[in-house]
C-alpha cells in the first residue's frame, strides 16, 4: 500500500509531530495534565491521523522506534513546561506491540533519564485489547514500570473486552472512560453504568477521567455522577506547542 511505503522513511525525515490535549480537573478548575498524540505530516497528503497509520506501523514494527521518539519528545516537552512552572503529568499512548519487545521498561527508564524527568510525571495509556495477548507477561512488565514510579492508565475503558475482570489483574492508576459514555449521557442505562464505574474506581483508589467532553451539558451530567477529571474539545482540542502557548495565555 502507498501509505506503508511512505511511512518507513517518515521517522528519519522528521515528518511526525506531537499535539497535546489538556486534561481538566473540573472540581478545582485547573489543568490536570496533557495527553501526547502523534500526527504525520505527509509530504503530499498533508496531515494524517494516527487512526490511519498506527495500524500500519504496528504491522511493520515501525511502532517501536516511533513510540521511542514519541516518549522522548513528550518527556522533553514535559520537562520544558516544568522549567516554566507548569507542573502537570504527560501521558503517552502505548500499543500492545511495545510489550512484545521485552525491553519496554528499560526503554522507558532510559528515556526518563535522558530527559531528566522524574517518573511520577509520566503516564502510559494502555487499552483493553491487550487481553488478546500474553496477559501475565504484560502484567509483569506493567508492575515493573509502575515500580519505577510511572503511572498506568486504561484508555477507552468500558468498550472493549472483559473490563471489570482486568481491573482485578492489572495494577492501574487511572481509568479513562470511553467517549461513547459521554456521548450517550441521556441514556439512563449509560448513566447507571458510569456512576457504578466511578464508585468502583473510588473504592479501588483509581482516578477517573471522562473522555470526549464536548459541551457544558456533558460537564454537568458527569459532575453529577461524581466525575472530576475531564478531557475533550470543551476544554481543549489536541494542540501544537504554539497553540498551547496561546491557550495558556487565554486561561491565565
Ligand atoms: O488523535 P486521534 O484522535 O486522531 O487518535 C486516534 C487514535 O490514535 C487514538 O486511539 C489514539 O489513542 C491513537 N494514538 C494517538 N497517538 C498515538 C501514539 O503516539 N501511539 C499510539 N500507539 N497510539 C496513538
Ligand atoms: O483513544 P484515545 O482516547 O487515545 O483517543 C484520543 C483522541 O480522541 C484524540 O486524539 C482526539 O482526536 C479525540 N478526541 C479528543 N477529545 C475529543 C472530543 O471531545 N470529541 C471527539 N469526538 N473526539 C475527541
Ligand atoms: Mn488515549
Ligand atoms: Na480514549
For residue 178 and ligand 2, the question of a CB distance below 6 A is answered with no
Ligand 1, CB cutoff 6 Å, lining residues: 37-38, 49-51, 54, 70, 93-95, 238
For residue 123 and ligand 2, the question of a CB distance below 6 A is answered with no
- For residue 176, give the ligand nearest its CA: 4
Residue by residue, DSSP assigns 109-163 as HHHHHHHT--GGGEEEEE-GGGGGS-HHHHHHHHHHHHHTT-EEEEEEETSSS-H
CB-CB contact of 148 with 105 (8 Å):
yes
The predicted-structure confidence for 24-67, as pLDDT tens digits, reads as follows: 999 999 999 999 999 999 999 999 999 999 999 999 999 999 99
Confirm whether pTM is higher than 0.90: yes
> Which protein residue's CA is at the shortest distance from atom 18 of ligand 2?
212
Cα(231) to ligand 2 centroid in Å equals 8
As a whole number of angstroms, the distance between CA 17 and CA 242 comes to 13
ipTM > 0.90 (yes/no)? yes
> Which protein residue's CA is at the shortest distance from atom 7 of ligand 1?
51
Beta pairing, strands 30-42 & 16-25: antiparallel
CB-based neighbours (< 5 A) of ligand 4, an ion? 155-156, 211
Q: Which CATH architecture has domain 2-242?
A: Alpha-Beta Barrel (3.20)
Place 158 in a pLDDT band, splitting at 50, 70 and 90: confident
Instruction: Identify the residue whose cell numbers are 453529577.
Output: 224
Amino acid at each position: 500500500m502507498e501509505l506503508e511505503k511512505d511511512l518507513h522513511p517518515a521517522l528519519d525525515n522528521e515528518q511526525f509531530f506531537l499535539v497535546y490535549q489538556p486534561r481538566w480537573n473540573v472540581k478545582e478548575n485547573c489543568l490536570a495534565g496533557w495527553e501526547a498524540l502523534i500526527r504525520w505530516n505527509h509530504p503530499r497528503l498533508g496531515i494524517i491521523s494516527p487512526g490511519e497509520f498506527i495500524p500500519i506501523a504496528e504491522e511493520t514494527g515501525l511502532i517501536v522506534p516511533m513510540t521511542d521518539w514519541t516518549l522522548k519528545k513528550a518527556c522533553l516537552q514535559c520537562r520544558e513546561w516544568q522549567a516554566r512552572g507548569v507542573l502537570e503529568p504527560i501521558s503517552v499512548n502505548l500499543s500492545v506491540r511495545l510489550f512484545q519487545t521485552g525491553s519496554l521498561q528499560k526503554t522507558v527508564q532510559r528515556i526518563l533519564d535522558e530527559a531528566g524527568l522524574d517518573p511520577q510525571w509520566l503516564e502510559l495509556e494502555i487499552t483493553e485489547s491487550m487481553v488478546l495477548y500474553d496477559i501475565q507477561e504484560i502484567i509483569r512488565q506493567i508492575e515493573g514500570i509502575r515500580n519505577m514510579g510511572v503511572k498506568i492508565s486504561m484508555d477507552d475503558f468500558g468498550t472493549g473486552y472483559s473490563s471489570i475482570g482486568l481491573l482485578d489483574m492489572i495494577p492501574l492508576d487511572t481509568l479513562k472512560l470511553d467517549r461513547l459514555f459521554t456521548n450517550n449521557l441521556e441514556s439512563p442505562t449509560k448513566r447507571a453504568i458510569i456512576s457504578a464505574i466511578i464508585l468502583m474506581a473510588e473504592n479501588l483508589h483509581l482516578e477517573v477521567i471522562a473522555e470526549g467532553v464536548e459541551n457544558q451539558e456533558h460537564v454537568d451530567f458527569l459532575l453529577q455522577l461524581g466525575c472530576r477529571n475531564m478531557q475533550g474539545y470543551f476544554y481543549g482540542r489536541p494542540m501544537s506547542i504554539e497553540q498551547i502557548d496561546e491557550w495558556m495565555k487565554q486561561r491565565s
